Amino acid sequence: MKLEVWQDAMELFKLTSGIMCGTPNVDFRLRGQILGSAQSIASNIAEGYCRRSINEYLYFLNVALGSSGEVMTRVIGVKLIGQLREKDFESFDELHYKVENKLLALVKSLQAKRSDAV
């Protein structure tokens, strides 16, 4: 597993948790969905790696990318309804962008490795 992308995903979860704890007006259920999808990114990276197969790893990395899109969509929604400070959104967006790009690079690398093995 590329430890760096997993660490960044964990940092994104930590940042998201801090932001959500600082926004008490966000509905409890929505807050839980945001935190769940943020945590799902790192969890799926780890689960895919532990499967010990490139195909399964790629599957879980794509699930992590889906969770990445989900958390971004939910955070944008919270911002649009005026429940998120611009500074918090910018911090989230910057780290989210970094995680998503590292995930995409890892997927591309593993796809190339899988193609070379055939």
Query: Over the chain (118 residues), what is each successive 10-residue block's mean pLDDT?
Result: 88 97 91 97 96 95 98 97 96 98 96 85
| CA atoms 55, 33, 70, 85: torsion sign | negative
Q: Could you tell me the two tokens for 114?
A: 């899988």
Q: Could you tell me the two tokens for 51?
A: 């499967």
Instruction: State the pLDDT at residue 79.
Output: 96
Q: How far apart are CA 28 and CA 43, in angstroms?
A: 22
Instruction: State the pLDDT at residue 104.
Output: 97
Domain 3-117 class? mainly alpha
Instruction: State the pLDDT at residue 10.
Output: 98
Residues 6 or more apart whose Cβ sits within 8 Å of residue 96: 12, 68, 71, 72, 75
Instruction: State the pLDDT at residue 111.
Output: 95
What's the predicted TM-score (pTM) here? 0.93
Instruction: State the pLDDT at residue 48.
Output: 95
Distance between first and last Cα of the chain: 21
- Amino acid at the residue 59: Y
